[in-house]
Amino acid sequence: MKVIQVINALSAGGAESFAVQLTTALSEFCDIELLTYAGCLDEKGIRLEQQLRSEGIIHNDAGAVTHWQRALVPFWLHDRIRRTTPDIVHVHLPRVEQFIMLSALLGTRTPVHVRTKHDDRAIVRSLHTAAAARFFDMHVACSPAALAPLNAAGLGHKSVLLANGIASRPIHNRVQIGAEQRLKHGIPASACVAICVGRIEQIDGVFLKAQDSIVEALAAADDLTDLHVVFVGGGQAISSLKQLAAASSANKRIHFTGVLPDITPYVAAANFMLMPSPREGLPMTAIECACFELPLLLSDIEAFAPFRHSSTLYCRAGDISDMVLRLREMRACIDTLTTEARRNGDIYRHKFSIRNVAKKHHALYQSLVARQRGEPWRSDVEPEA
């Protein structure tokens, strides 16, 4: 079986990182190729490209940097697909979906087309969504939160729930690496450190991952004088967040790293992960931190239901007062929660094993190809819990 995965670029984004890891894991089961059109966007993207090269994965990029060049991407995709003749074309992210649909207009639509929905946004009625509903043979949702809009749009009959996954690995010399990162930021060895990982972006003045609420909550929890927060990531709103942090009474306990090719040194430095997002799909960084055995403090949204274990605390989304209470609870119980996180590590590593995720995707691909050919096939893909 030949499979092509298509993503916009190689970068620190969760969907982009997942697509690379899925492509690598699928290489065990089928002929695989990864297509991108916008190159490497950051240091993490460069690291992902090196990973693909080291694994012997075919990766082709259109080099479309300008808007004019991106207008030619559908033609480039059509040519690559025509030459490769894949059985499956699996796309991630809305812009890529548009390019793939346009490319199919240029020739015979022979592959099975699959898309993954990586967020929980409602499917607004539009020409694009109507076309996508008809065009794609299967819609994969990464979490129950991502599946709900597909069901609401009447696409439940050709949708399936398959969680994201990662290639988990141990952190060697964890204590030493963590101590080095704390020293780098002037964080005392005795401090309690929360790590918040993700893009720092705003839409209509609202931080997508509620980083501003974290700054406000940290200032309100003025009794937690040894609690520090490290924001890992970059984005168009990082300057705005830094301004909020500088004006906060907790400014000396707020730190920024920018985009990193590897978050594990800061996972090693952290006591827990903090992600009070108002909405999510299934964040790769939450999966990573859970597999790296960190306690989690998350918002009580549906996307975070897969992390309901003894090492997770939840705060009400958008409620800063409740976040303050949960921060106090986390600080008071950090030793117990850390012990629980270590016990839960094996559960998360099995649940989010990229190899297991790849096997489920491969079974789905086999089922779809058999159906297209009119052959009998019983899918081994079961709905996620």
Q: Name the residue type at position 328.
A: R
Residue 381 lies in a domain: no
Of residues 62 and 65, more confidently modeled:
62
Residue 382 lies in a domain: no
The count of domains in the chain is 2
pLDDT at 124: 63
DSSP class of 213: H
Averaged pLDDT for residues 117-144: 82
What distance in Å separates the CA atoms of residue 321 and residue 112, rounded to the nearest whole number? 49
Same-domain check for residues 161 and 276: no
Residue 142 lies in a domain: yes
Same-domain check for residues 253 and 333: yes
Residue 7 lies in a domain: yes
Measured N-to-C along each axis, helices 14-26 and 284-291 cross at an angle, to the nearest 10 degrees, of 70
Same-domain check for residues 155 and 180: no
Element (H, E) at 114: strand 112-117
pLDDT band at 5 (very low <50, low <70, confident <90, very high): very high
Strands 2-6, 296-299: pairing kind: unpaired
Residue 181 lies in a domain: yes
Same-domain check for residues 280 and 153: no
Q: Is 296 helix (H, G, I), strand (E, B) or coil?
A: strand
Same-domain check for residues 78 and 200: no
Q: pLDDT tens digits for 226-280?
A: 999 999 999 899 999 999 999 999 999 999 999 888 899 999 999 999 999 998 9
Own/partner contacts of 147-156, CB < 8 Å, gap of 24 or more, are 147/117, 148/120, 148/302, 149/117, 149/120, 149/121, 149/122, 149/123, 150/117, 150/123, 152/122, 152/123, 153/123, 153/129, 155/123
pLDDT at 385: 46
Q: Is 301 helix (H, G, I), strand (E, B) or coil?
A: coil
pLDDT at 203: 87
What distance in Å separates the CA atoms of residue 252 and residue 260, rounded to the nearest whole number? 22
pLDDT at 126: 65
Q: pLDDT tens digits for 314-348?
A: 999 999 999 999 999 999 999 999 999 999 999 99
pLDDT at 74: 95
Token pair of 37 as six digits: 């059109």
Same-domain check for residues 182 and 97: no
Residue 223 lies in a domain: yes
Same-domain check for residues 157 and 141: yes
Reading phi first (left if > 0) and then psi (alpha if -120 to 50, else beta), residue 151 is in alpha
Whether pLDDT at 127 is above 70: no
What distance in Å separates the CA atoms of residue 287 and residue 292, rounded to the nearest whole number? 8
* Contacts of residue 32, Cβ cutoff 8 Å, sequence gap at least 6: 2, 3, 4, 5, 23, 26, 57, 58
Q: pLDDT above 90 covers what percent of the chain? A: 77
pLDDT band at 373 (very low <50, low <70, confident <90, very high): confident
Q: Name the residue type at position 162.
A: L
Same-domain check for residues 234 and 265: yes
Same-domain check for residues 361 and 283: no
> What is the pTM for the complete model shown?
0.89
What distance in Å separates the CA atoms of residue 295 and residue 275, rounded to the nearest whole number? 11
Same-domain check for residues 359 and 346: no
Domain containing residue 221:
174-351
* Cα 328–Cα 329–Cα 330 angle in degrees, nearest 5: 90
Same-domain check for residues 156 and 300: no
Same-domain check for residues 342 and 360: no
Whether pLDDT at 377 is above 70: no
- 26: domain CATH number is 3.40.50.2000
Residue 330 lies in a domain: yes
Residue 378 lies in a domain: no
